[in-house]
Chain A
Amino acid sequence: MADTEKLICNKCNKELEPIKTNFSYLGHSFFTDLPKCPKCGMVYISEEFVKSRISEVEMQLEDK
């Protein structure tokens, strides 16, 4: 997905905005900005994000 492409919430028809979002895994917590619907709070997590940063965080935290 290109950075300039707008994301619209399917339910609320609102444009998603980058909002601080929290994650936790194996006793650690993290935050980062992710596209979120300002009305219903639904967060969009792209496949690219999962395969890059989420996957990297998991690799760092999981036991070898």
Chain B
Amino acid sequence: MVEKLLYRTRSVCPTCLKPIDAERISRGKKIFLRKTCHKHGTFETIIWRGNYDIGPWINIDEQELPKDLQCPNGCGLCSNHLTNTCCVVLNITDRCNLSCKFCFADPDNRSNDPSFDEIKKSLYNVISKGKSLVQLSGGEPTVREDLVEIVRAAKEAGAKYVQLNTNGVLLGENKQLVKELAEAGLSFVFLQFDGTEDAIYEQLRNKPLLSIKQKAIENCAEYNIGVTLVATLVRDINLNNIGKIISYGLERVPCVRGVHFQPVSFFGRIPKMPSDNDRITIDELIYEIESQTKGIIKSDNLLPSSCYHPLCSFHGDFLINNDSVVPLQNIRNLENETPPTPAADPADRNREFIGRRWERPTPLKSDPFKPTALKSASSKNTPKPCCGNIHDMDYFLKIAKSHSFTITSMLFQDAGNIDFSRLRRCSLHVYDNEKFIPFCAYYLSEWEK
């Protein structure tokens, strides 16, 4: 088949992590990243399966990479980095209460946690008052006994949003903890949620976890903490569960604020080296979302990120009204009627989008949409949807705050598919050792020799 060179970029050798030249090439509708290490050979990875045309999707002016690019070894945000920080990840522990098959953080459970004072110092270093979104991560952050104090300290330092990245086990077991986190100012929970069947958790997390996830969602609902369900997708385990995960989330609006998909990446703890068949590409994921939701979510309503590289992330923004899923953006409408170019930095806009959608508004006593605590996993007991005329401007503005639902995705890069053109547009930064490091550079790990 005829090959076409699409873009010259840089990557790393998966075996020795040495930065090397790479190219995106097409064969038919499929796109690959290919690179050659003089010592370890040629590597090729699929990055687009051709379900849609990649041309319009990459809606950025992708210039030739600078000659002096130091990725990933010089990472710590240099003058060649193109985006500002949208969200800061702060790892507050290396310990974890699960032992998962895949884990990018691959916690060793042996390192000493940073002290509260060290974390507090980091918080003051990273937070711009009234603006920052801090993700408390790990390891599993809820294993720290002073988590509530850390959340409170983040708010006192001026964080606009505090996000908890968690497997949810302790949030399900300990309602008092959820109450205290809410009182301390936790904005939302990013809840590991890989599927609607225990068999999925048994394969991915080595335990049946569905009921404890459900309990965590109920506890968050009771204390008005928004929950975004985060699914790590693995082809033979839960790729075919996408539609059910979305339905599960939709049935739990307004407590559940959205679903976030992370196709598995091969860094940290992985069971085996990946083949192309193990990779779930961005176009494949979009195709599966439309197909498995039977068109309730359409590909036209899922847009490439304007904050990250289009091959890294996409988002869809919806309202739930009268049992209907109403898309707020359509790629065709945006093409036909271009809104004014926003003046704000893309990282600022993305952060505000996340905050606006994932945080639940404070309920008013007279608010007809005040949150309902979920009673059980049964859809019979899920909150009643909003019922009104969505064309009524006042009603629209009300439910846009309370009954929004996002479908988002982040495709992390690993040693096989890392592309420096993508990396230099990353706005999710891990703060460590007084440096802001793009997420995929921070967690990059070599494959076995």
Q: Which residues of A contact B (CB under 8 A)?
A: 23, 25-32, 53, 56-58, 60-64
Contacts and interface: CB of A to CB of B under 8 A. Distances in A.
Contacts of A29: 391
Contacts of A63: 303, 306, 329, 334, 339
Contact of A32 (B307, B342, B350, B392): B392
A45 to B, nearest CB: 12
Interface stretch (B31-39, B158-166, B394-402): B394-402
Contact of A64 (B315, B392, B396, B397): B315
B339 A58 contact: yes
10 contacts: A26-B334, A30-B391, A30-B392, A60-B328, A62-B329, A62-B342, A63-B329, A63-B334, A64-B306, A64-B350
B203 interface: no
Contacts of A57: 393, 396-397
Contacts of A61: 328-329
Contact of A60 (B303, B307, B337, B397): B397
Interface residues of chain A: helix, strand, loop or mixed (majority): mixed
B247 interface: no
A55 to B, nearest CB: 11
B333 A26 contact: yes
B57 interface: no
B341 to A, nearest CB: 10
B349 interface: yes
A29 B350 CA distance: 25
The 10 A-B residue pairs whose C-beta atoms are closest, nearest first, are A64-B353, A27-B333, A32-B393, A30-B393, A60-B400, A62-B339, A26-B333, A64-B349, A63-B329, A30-B391
Nearest to A63: B329
Nearest to A22: B391
Contacts of B303: 63
Nearest to A30: B393
Nearest to A34: B393
Contacts of A53: 393-394, 397
Contacts, number: 55
A63 B334 CA distance: 8
Nearest to B394: A32
A26 B352 CA distance: 20
B300 to A, nearest CB: 11
Nearest to A62: B339
A61 to B, nearest CB: 6
A64 to B, nearest CB: 4
Interface residues of B, number: 25
Contacts of B392: 30-32
B83 interface: no
B393 A31 contact: yes
Contacts of B84: none
Contacts of A64: 306-307, 315, 317, 349-350, 352-353
Nearest to B349: A64
Interface in B377-410: 391-394, 396-397, 400
A26 B329 CA distance: 8
Interface string B236-248: 0000000000000
A61 B303 CA distance: 13
A30 B396 contact: yes
Nearest to A58: B339
B330 interface: yes
A36 to B, nearest CB: 15
A26 B307 contact: no
Contacts of B332: 27
Contacts of B306: 63-64
Contacts of B342: 62
Contacts of A23: 393
Contacts of B394: 32, 53
Nearest to B338: A26
A59 to B, nearest CB: 8
A31 B333 contact: no
A61 B301 CA distance: 12
Contacts of A27: 330, 332-333, 337
Interface in B346-363: 349-350, 352-353
Nearest to A32: B393
Contacts of A25: 337
B216 to A, nearest CB: 27
B68 to A, nearest CB: 32
A31 B391 contact: yes
- Between A23, A61, A64, the greatest number of chain B beta carbons within 10 A of the residue's beta carbon is seen for A64
A5 to B, nearest CB: 21
A35 to B, nearest CB: 15
A50 to B, nearest CB: 13
Contacts of A62: 329, 339, 342
